[in-house]
Amino acid sequence: MANRGGFSSKLGFIMAAAGSAVGLGNIWGFPYEVGQGGGAAFVVMYLIFCFLLCFPVMVTEIAIGRKSQKNAVGAFNYLGFKKWNIVGKMGILCGVLILSFYNVIAGWAFGYIFEMASSNFGIADHFGDYVLNIFRVGLYGLVFMAVTAYVVSKGVSGGIEKAAKLLMPTLLFLIVSLVLYSFTLENSMAGVKFYLIPDFSLMTGSVIYNAMGQAFFSLSLGMGALITYGSYVSKNDNIITSAAFITLADVGIALIAGLMIFPLIGYMTEGTMSEVGRGPALIFVTLPQIFGSIGGSWGAAVGTIFFVLLCFAALTSTVSLLEVPVSYVVDELNVRRKRAVWLVAGLIYLIGIPSLLGNGYSEFFSHFVTYIGADSATDFLSFMNHVANDTLLPLGGCLIVFFAAHVWKKENLDEELAQGAPNYKGSFVQKYLNFAVSYLAPIVLGTVFVLTVLSTFFGINLI
């Protein structure tokens, strides 16, 4: 078999996996979920889910990858359970679907760099027209996909790891600079309070449930991305501590993103924290308004830096999304890496076209489906999001942990985790992971999957 390549060091792996985790989900998704779902009460739930539930899933994915040294499908074959490779196939499908629309949004963000740099803050009132200009935003998306493909084509250590090592520290620097700046604005503290002081009366079923989905998506779990990255990890590395760093980095960046955005909203709303643009429009509508109200060259500078930052975060995530199908094509279909990358990236770009058109340009894709019990139709991009993120990810996660604990068997999982982690056996961490992977995670994820399907597609809300 051809040399698959691998990460050059533990740090390289941590950076790449943290790069996968930190993305639009942290800088856009997290603050808007906090804004909609009860402020700090949401944050508390999110933290609980990340550490108690998602961390064990992450460890399991990496262990399956490292044991087999294979892609998400090949891993199940290698372990001797060919039938289970359907879970890997589902993961690859999920990666393809997520990348197809994630890239559209990343393309919008990419275009905003130029808008902010030229002080065009009025774009906030014309976001609807901006996304209607499909040739322009389509081109931005094409460029974004091409950069992603270029990085992946350079291989694991020469492309993915190198890009992450450059982009992640830069991202941290930019985000911390913006936090410090936003703290200097008037009424910034009102935002900080909303964000950090929990009001548990706001803790509804949907807050808990969204926090779970957000944690899962944000940590890139449930679709074999970390099986794939895990397959490039050295046998000497400690999977447990690596996963802990990745989780901390992801949670840390999400928390810092909140510290950047809520003070800005405090400033904009003069401390009232009214509903203003706390929804999905946050990034593309509310923030440019805020940058505009800062005014002058400061506004342009802060706005430009923000969207550069967002694109860096998105890029290390799109790279991991592309690597999942690419490693499958390279390993299983024996296609050369470069060729596989450009073919798969081109195909995914095409699959993303309906998501591009479904924001008003095409009537058909803008009102693509009407779910049972819903009053209005759902556009194609949101539909993809519901199918892939909200449904397939928790299902995939549930099946992966169930597989590891009860089919492959937890003794084998433990054996793999103990390699490179001399103190693992007999530790509290081992006991907790055994419990979480065998019972807690499959049950919670299975339940979330069923509840999501019922609520999203059939309008049946059990909680």
Which residues contact ligand PFF by CB under 6 A?
20-21, 23-26, 95, 98, 217-218, 220, 223, 225, 317, 320-321
- Residue closer to ligand PFF by CB (options 25, 277) is 25
Separation between Cα atoms, residue 244 and residue 56, nearest integer Å: 10
The CB-of-318 to ligand PFF minimum distance in angstroms stands at 8
Separation between Cα atoms, residue 329 and residue 71, nearest integer Å: 9
The CB-of-310 to ligand PFF minimum distance in angstroms stands at 10
The CB-of-64 to ligand PFF minimum distance in angstroms stands at 15
Instruction: Give one DSSP letter per residue of 77-122, joined into a string.
Output: HHTT-GGGHHHHHHHHHHHHHHHHHHHHHHHHHHHHHHHHHTT-GG
The CB-of-39 to ligand PFF minimum distance in angstroms stands at 20
- Residue closer to ligand PFF by CB (options 27, 40) is 27
The CB-of-220 to ligand PFF minimum distance in angstroms stands at 4
- Residue closer to ligand PFF by CB (options 95, 420) is 95
Separation between Cα atoms, residue 324 and residue 156, nearest integer Å: 12
Distances (CA, A) of 146 to 341, 368, 373, 391: 10, 28, 40, 28
| Residue with the shortest CB distance to ligand PFF | 25
Give the CA radius of gyration of the chain. 21
Distances (CA, A) of 298 to 117, 186, 282, 359: 10, 15, 20, 31
The CB-of-217 to ligand PFF minimum distance in angstroms stands at 5
The CB-of-213 to ligand PFF minimum distance in angstroms stands at 11
- Residue closer to ligand PFF by CB (options 317, 438) is 317
The residue whose two tokens read 């995670």 is: 441
- Residue closer to ligand PFF by CB (options 73, 190) is 73
CB 323 within 8 A of CB 152: yes
The CB-of-135 to ligand PFF minimum distance in angstroms stands at 26
CA 219 to chain centre: 6
Give per-residue burial for 197-233: e unless 16+ CB within 10 Å, then b.
ebeeeebeeebbbbbbbbbbbbbbbbbbbbbbbbbbb
- Residue closer to ligand PFF by CB (options 219, 421) is 219
H or E element that contains 150: helix 134-153
Separation between Cα atoms, residue 413 and residue 77, nearest integer Å: 16
- Residue closer to ligand PFF by CB (options 218, 238) is 218
Residues in the chain, total: 463
- Residue closer to ligand PFF by CB (options 59, 321) is 321
